[in-house]
A = this chain, B = another copy of it.
C-alpha cells in the first residue's frame, strides 16, 4: 500500500508529463529525497524522460535555461531547501526577461518548522518575488482525494502558465515532513491531460497596407524566439522586397535582402540620410545593437511592433503601433496581402551589409574579429551559443553563417553569468554546439563545464583570452589609467590549458585563421576548448582598423 507522499508525488510527475514536460535538472539534497527517488524510478520506465544531475545549483538553473531555450518547452528545476534555491536567482531573472519557461520545484521544511530557528530553513515563500509568474505551495503529505485532484489540475495549470506568451518561470514550493523515504516499485497512477485549445489570432491588414505601401519600410528583426518561422521572414524579403535588418539572434542571416552589421554601418556613418526608413516594423526583443535603436529614435521613424511577448517593451518610447498578435500569423497575413515596399530601397540597403562581409573575407590575421567571422564555418545544423559583453557585439557585426546554424545568447538581462551552463543545456539538443566567450565570462561559470563531462555533451568552447574584461577598453573609464586595471581590466591570469586539463577537455591553441577554421568546420566529440590569444589594447586597434577600412570604401 502506497502512502500519500508517494502517491501525490507520482501524480505530480504524471501531471507534468500530461502537459508534455520531459526534461528535469536536479541538484542533490536531503529534503528532495522522495522527489529524486521517484523521478529516478519514473525515468527507468518512461523513455521520454530526461534527468540531468548538476551539483551546483547556479549552473543547474542555467543548464535548464539552455534546454528550455533550445526546446521551447518548460524544463523542471529541482533543488533542496535553503540557499540551494537562492542560487537559482540569476537564471530566474534571465528567464523572466527573455521569456523562457522554467518550472522551479523547490522542497521546503513544513510550516511548523518555519521562522523559529530550524536548521537550513529559509523563508522560501515568494523568494523570487516579481521574477516569477506564479508562486504556489502544495502540501504533498495529505491523503485527502481533493489534494490529489488539485495536484493533477494545478500542476498542469502552472506548466501552461509558464509556457503561455510571454513565457517565464513559475515557482512550486513543496514543504515536506520527515520521514522522507517514498515507497518504490509500486504501480504508477494515470493522470488525464487537461485539454488546451490554442488561441487563434487574426489580423486585419487593410489599415496597415495603406500605411506602408510604397514607403521605405525596414523590418528590424531583433532576437527571435524559436517559435517564429524565419522562412516566412526570408520570403518577405525576397517577394515583398522589404530589407531586413537582422540581429545575429534573429537567425535569418545569409540570405539576400538581409542586412547584417548594422551597428558597424551606423558607427562608421556609411548609412546616410537617404536610407532612413519611413517605417520600421519590429519583430523580436531588443536588438543587440544599441545604435540601431538610437538611429530610429533620432529620426523619429514610425515604429510598428509585432508580437505577443515583446509588445510593451519600448525603451525608446517611439512605437506608433503595437500589434499584439503571433509573429507567424502577422508574417503570413503580410505575405498574402498586396502590400508592396519601395522597390529601390532594398538593393541600396542590402549592399551595405555585404560590404562588411566582403571586408571580412580578406582579413587574414587571427584576432577577436576574425575569430567571430570564422564561426561561419560551424557545421550544419549546429548551435552557437554566444557570451555577452564583447562576443555578442562582435558576432552581431561580423557573423554571417555559411549554412543553417542556430545562434543563441542570454539577452534578457545580458548577464555574463551561467554562460557555460546555458550552452551545455543547449548542447543536450544538438549534435554539435559551440560557445564563443571571453576569458572573464569563461571563468565566471567555469564550474558549469562539469556537466559536459558528466553527460558526454559535445561542446566546443572558443575562449578569446585577452586576460580580463575587454569591453571596458572601449568605454570612457579606459582613460582613468591609475585605476583602470584594478577596477575594470581585472586580469585573472587564467591558464585555459589547465582548465581544459581539469575538465578532461581536448585543448587547442590555433595561431592562424586557417587553423581555427579547420577546427570549427569539423564536428568534435566531447568537450573541446579552443584558446585564442588576444590583447585588449590591440583589440581596440583592430576594431578601429575595420571601421577605417569601411569608411575608406565609401569615401572613394
Is there a chain B Cβ closer than 8 Å to A502's Cβ? Answer: yes
Name the interface residues of A162-193: CB closer than 8 Å to any CB of B: 179-181, 184
Is there a chain B Cβ closer than 8 Å to A476's Cβ? Answer: yes
Asked if A495 and B490 sit within 8 Å, CB to CB, the answer is no
Which residue of B has the minimal Cβ distance to A285? B117
Is there a chain B Cβ closer than 8 Å to A72's Cβ? Answer: no
A447 CB contact (under 8 Å) in B28, B90, B446, B476: B446
Is there a chain B Cβ closer than 8 Å to A134's Cβ? Answer: no
Asked if B56 and A444 sit within 8 Å, CB to CB, the answer is yes
When distances are taken between beta carbons in the complex, the residues of chain B under 8 Å from A483 are 36-37, 40-41
Is there a chain B Cβ closer than 8 Å to A462's Cβ? Answer: no
A476 CB contact (under 8 Å) in B179, B411, B418, B469: B179
Copies of this chain, tallied across the complex: 2
Report the separation of the CA atoms of residues A495 and B504 in the bound assembly, to the nearest whole angstrom: 10
Asked if A413 and B122 sit within 8 Å, CB to CB, the answer is yes
A58 CB contact (under 8 Å) in B58, B454, B499: B58
When distances are taken between beta carbons in the complex, the residues of chain B under 8 Å from A418 are 83
When distances are taken between beta carbons in the complex, the residues of chain B under 8 Å from A471 are 30
Asked if B53 and A490 sit within 8 Å, CB to CB, the answer is yes
The total of chain A residues at the interface (CB under 8 A) is 90
Asked if A477 and B55 sit within 8 Å, CB to CB, the answer is no
When distances are taken between beta carbons in the complex, the residues of chain B under 8 Å from A482 are 40-41, 44, 184
Report the separation of the CA atoms of residues A467 and B178 in the bound assembly, to the nearest whole angstrom: 27
**Smallest beta-carbon distance A552→chain B, Å:** 30
Name the interface residues of A74-94: CB closer than 8 Å to any CB of B: 82-84, 86-87, 89-94
Which residue of B has the minimal Cβ distance to A182? B480
A118 CB contact (under 8 Å) in B51, B121, B286: B286
Is there a chain B Cβ closer than 8 Å to A475's Cβ? Answer: yes
Is there a chain B Cβ closer than 8 Å to A116's Cβ? Answer: yes
Among A87, A453, A475, A476, the one with the most B-chain Cβ atoms within 10 Å of its Cβ is A87
**Smallest beta-carbon distance A495→chain B, Å:** 6
Is there a chain B Cβ closer than 8 Å to A464's Cβ? Answer: no
Asked if B87 and A83 sit within 8 Å, CB to CB, the answer is no
Is there a chain B Cβ closer than 8 Å to A501's Cβ? Answer: yes
**Smallest beta-carbon distance A379→chain B, Å:** 29
Name the interface residues of A462-504: CB closer than 8 Å to any CB of B: 469, 471-472, 475-477, 480, 482-483, 486-488, 490, 492-493, 495, 498-499, 501-502
Which residue of B has the minimal Cβ distance to A58? B58
Report the separation of the CA atoms of residues A122 and B475 in the bound assembly, to the nearest whole angstrom: 22
When distances are taken between beta carbons in the complex, the residues of chain B under 8 Å from A266 are none
Asked if A492 and B53 sit within 8 Å, CB to CB, the answer is no
Which listed segment binds B: A125-133, A212-220, A350-358, A359-367?
Answer: A125-133
Which residue of B has the minimal Cβ distance to A414? B120
Report the separation of the CA atoms of residues A246 and B39 in the bound assembly, to the nearest whole angstrom: 41
**Smallest beta-carbon distance A490→chain B, Å:** 5
When distances are taken between beta carbons in the complex, the residues of chain B under 8 Å from A310 are 117
When distances are taken between beta carbons in the complex, the residues of chain B under 8 Å from A499 are 502
Is there a chain B Cβ closer than 8 Å to A20's Cβ? Answer: no
Residues of A bordering B, CB below 8 Å: 26, 28, 30, 33, 36-37, 39-41, 44, 51, 53, 55-58, 82-84, 86-87, 89-94, 96-97, 113, 116-123, 126-127, 129-131, 179-181, 184, 285-286, 290, 310, 312-315, 317, 411, 413-415, 417-418, 440, 443-444, 446-447, 450, 453-454, 469, 471-472, 475-477, 480, 482-483, 486-488, 490, 492-493, 495, 498-499, 501-502
With A55-B490, A181-B476 known, 20 other A-B pairs at CB within 8 A are: A28-B472, A30-B472, A40-B483, A41-B482, A53-B486, A83-B91, A83-B93, A83-B413, A87-B417, A93-B122, A97-B122, A117-B312, A117-B313, A119-B290, A119-B414, A184-B480, A443-B450, A447-B447, A495-B502, A498-B501
29 contacts between A and B (CB under 8 A): A30-B472, A30-B475, A36-B483, A37-B483, A39-B487, A40-B486, A53-B487, A55-B490, A56-B443, A56-B444, A58-B87, A83-B90, A83-B415, A86-B89, A86-B415, A87-B90, A89-B90, A93-B122, A116-B312, A117-B313, A118-B315, A119-B286, A121-B315, A129-B129, A180-B477, A181-B476, A454-B492, A498-B498, A502-B502
